[in-house]
Structure 1
Amino acid sequence: MKTLPEYEELATVAHGHLCAGQILGLRMAVHGLALLGIDDPTGTQRKRLVTFVEIDRCATDAITVVTGCRLGKRALKFLDFGKMAATFCDLETGRAVRVAAKESSKQRAAELYPEILEKNKQQMKAYRELSEAELFDVQWVKVRVGPEDLPGFKGPRVSCCECGEGISFQREVVVDGRTLCRSCAGQRYYEPLSDHGPEERR
């Protein structure tokens, strides 16, 4: 594991700037991995870890810097719960720990450094110094990570009976005996503008 200043430099490059949320994310990840006994997450232990993040904010980019978990590697899982929390899963031991930022941490930052008027700078300074117990709630949990969700999974690819698009990682659903993608099964996040292709809308 690297030092916090070293991780801060990496996070600045990865995210484009450094802020309080990233420092919180860095410390969250370092603490979670320490609890699991993982000290080389981007090296010899890189295949042991899957991380679930619950918010799409600055802290998530910081967590990826420490853990090495990425969406493209299928080692980072995003669940949009809107919470400053992450669960770190050790695939080798089956242990998992959820680390959540305490709501009281912002108030503790204000109490420690009332002379720093800019909240981000105030929190950055405090989050570097507060203990893990002051920053985080920790809960040991059980997480089922099925084979279809593991990095390197090589499952069959099927086509949607409705739109014809390919579906990987067993994400298809069967409705009335027909294999459908989630969009065609009614879970679409977008609304098509027409039934025609883009070349017909020009």
Structure 2
Amino acid sequence: MELNDAKLKQAVDFHGHLCPGLMIGFKAGQVALEELGVARSADEELVAIVETDACSIDAIQTLTGCTAGKGNFLIKNYGKQAFTVGNRNNGQAIRVALKYGALDFEENVDKEVRVKELYNKPAEDIFTVEKLDIELPPKAAIRDSVQCANCSEPVMETKARLKEGEVLCISCFKEGS
């Protein structure tokens, strides 16, 4: 498939290849941004909450600008191709979910044909769209680090654990349990 769409090309470059899963996320991300009336997040204006850990989430990241490192990309892996995108500026959120049966293709159809079919299929034939009234998570906070008494590595103080008067990182805390 020729990549004439610059945003799709960006998603493919990030993910590494074009596949039906990436196309699901690409189309879902487009729907969410359109429904919210926003463009890609420059910083932390948008929040994405995804219900899978599959290929589709790479397209959601590239389209929305939400990333794990900024703290505005959250994975709640429920095994569903469902994606919520929220706008922190006005509190609006949209959930876009794959319809059951939307990916029914004829047998032995190759990946490229499936991708083209998804690309050309109207979004309303693929997804349900729902406006949500949810509380969006706060912006990422920068916290001080403390030293783990066992491994000596720095750990964010909000993630540190206290055991017998010693500050431990989670992995050392679990090892000693």
Q: What interval of TM-score do these two structures reach, taking the shorter chain for normalisation?
A: 0.7 to 0.9
Which 5+ residue runs of structure 1 have no aligned equivalent? 189-202
- Structure 2 CA distance, aligned partners of 1:178 and 1:141? 42
SS at match of 1:72: coil
Q: What is the Cα deviation at residue 49 of structure 1? A: 0.9
Distance between the aligned counterparts of 2:86 and 2:124, measured in 1? Answer: 20
Classify 1:24/1:167 alpha carbon distance in 2 versus 1 (closer, same or farther; 3 Å). same
Alignment correspondent of 1:145: 137
* Residue 72 of structure 1, CA deviation: 2.5
**Aligned positions, number:** 172
Which residue in 2 is equivalent to 1:165?
A: 153
The TM-score, its normalising length taken from structure 1, stands at 0.71
Q: 2:4 matched to 1:7? A: no
**What is the identity percentage for the equivalent residue pairs of Structure 1 and Structure 2?**
27
Q: CA RMSD in A?
A: 2.8
For 1:84 and 1:174, locate their aligned partners in 2 and report how far apart those are by CA, in whole Å.
38
Q: Which TM-score applies when normalising by structure 2?
A: 0.79
Q: Which has the higher contact order (CA 8 A, sep 6+)?
A: 2
Point out where structure 2 has 5 or more consecutive residues left out of the alignment: none
Q: Larger helix proportion, structure 1 or 2?
A: 1
| Partner AA of 1:81 in structure 2 | Y
Matches within 5 A, 1:28-177: 28-39=28-39, 41-43=40-42, 46-107=43-104, 110=105, 114=106, 117-139=108-130, 140-146=132-138, 150-151=139-140, 153-168=141-156, 170-174=158-162
Query: What displacement does 1:34 show?
Result: 1.6
CA drift at 1:31:
0.8
Q: Which has the larger radius of gyration?
A: 1
CA drift of 1:176 comes to 6.7
